[in-house]
Each structure stands twice: as C-alpha cells, then as structure tokens.
Amino acid sequence: MAAVSESKVEEDVFLGFDEEERETVAAWRRERFEARNQSDLESDISVSSVSTGDLSDFEEEEDEEETWNENPNPVEVSPFTEATGPTSGVAEDGTAIDFFYLMFPEELIEQIVAETNCYAQECIATKPDHEWYDTMLDETKVFIGLHMLFGIKRLPATRLYWSEDPLIGVPFVQKVTSRNRFDKLSKYFHLNNNANQVPREDPGHDKLFKVRPVLDRVVQCCKMELRAQKDLSVDEAMVKFKGRLGMKQYADEAC
C-alpha cells in the first residue's frame, strides 16, 4: 500500500516540459507574435500609398498653422475719451431719498398707484371689499419704504412689526400705517395691467410681464444717470428661492 501511494504522488508532481514540448511552445509564441505584428502593419496607413496631390493639402495646412499669427501690424486701440460719472447732480446736503429718486422717479410710483387701484377695482368687481379705498402717491411711497426697512430690520413675520410687545414691535412702523391697511396694499399691489398680458402659449409671452414697467424704467434710469468708465467688472448674485418660477436655475455646485 505504501508503494502504491508513493507512485501516485510521483505521478501528480509536475517535473517540467521536455525538449519537444518546449520547442512546441516556442513555435506557438512566435506564430502569435508574427500574427500580431502583421495586423498592426495592415491597420497603419502607408505614406507611400498616398498620392502627392493628397499630401499637398496637408502641406498647405501645416504652412498655414506656422504662419497664421505672423502679423507685423500692431493692434491699435482707440483712446477712451468719453466723459464718465453721474449725469445728475445731487446737492451736498442731499439725502438718501434724493439718490433713490434717481433710479425710482415719482412718475414710476404714480404708474404703480394707477395699476394698483385698477387691479383692486377688478378684484372688487368679482368679490366686494368694503374696507378698500384707493391708494395715493404718498401712501405708496410709504409702502415701498417700509419694504426697504423690513429688509434692514428683519423680524420672523411681518405682523410682528405691529406687535404690542415693546421688545418686538416697531413704533415707527405702527405710526405711519396700520397693519390692516398694509395687508390691503400688499393684496392689491400691482405693476402692470393684466389685460395687456400675452397668453403663455403665444411666442411673444413675457415671463417678466408682471414687473416689466419697473424693470425697464430702472434700466433706463441706470443708463441715463451714470456714464460707465472704460474698465468695468460685471458680477452676478444668487438669491435663495424655493418657489415656482420658470426662470429659476438650479446651481448644484453653488449649494
């Protein structure tokens, strides 16, 4: 039994290739190497097989690449001689409201007053509102000014500005208008006439129609009131917004 086991172990041990097997493997390797080289040669384009006429196009392209930027004429830039700076002078004792009117003139506020009253009448014709009465120029100025103030002095909710708690409420806001009147103005505040709006499916539909009069006027005032200098730096600002808007863009990398 021991002899049989030893013979089986000897049969399972690999002692290497003999001379004939090594020659067979070497020949197989040479055939594979020659076949691979042959396929590489067939896949390459032989320059000798291409006509001289075909090569002329490549020569012209190479010449153009070498000489396209060789221009001895210097670049001439016309000198900047335009007058720059603000076009409307503000007195030395001018206040913040004087600068505000440069970009937001009174005639624009008058247009807002007219559109707000018009929109309110349209709504009241469908659903009566006995508490509403037409707004005036001075009241609309106060309304716009309060919104600017709310952006500086912030509270969690608009109604808190009229809070009776002396630690929270803002007496100045409570003095210029009541909370109920402010809510009414917010409800009917309008900038453009809905009757002139183009339907959404129309090619001329304007997504900014609701604010178009104010936007166009402010852009016009910016061009009129300031002459830009030669060198300008243009940047953009992002506003956090989670509502529904057709122009909203999602900037994943900026989050």
**What DSSP assignment string belongs to 12-37?**
HS-----HHHHHHHHHHHHHHHHHHH
3 state DSSP class of 227: strand
- Cα distance between residue 215 and residue 140, in whole Å: 18
pLDDT at 15: 54
The predicted structure's pLDDT at residue 5: 47
pLDDT recorded at residue 83: 86
pLDDT given for residue 178 in this prediction: 95
Look at strands 226-227 and 85-86 and give their pairing.
Answer: antiparallel
Please tell me the distance from the alpha carbon of residue 138 to that of residue 97, in angstroms, as a whole number: 13
Residue 12 is predicted with a pLDDT of: 52
AA identity, residue 14? F
The per-residue pLDDT for 248 is 67
Distance of alpha carbon 149 from its chain centroid, rounded? 28
Amino acid making up residue 193 = N
Tokens 């001895």 map to which residue? Answer: 72
Q: Which residues of the chain have pLDDT under 50?
A: 1-10, 45, 47
Which uninterrupted H or E stretch holds 6? helix 2-12
Contact by Cβ (8 Å): 132, 188: yes
Name the DSSP class of 86: E
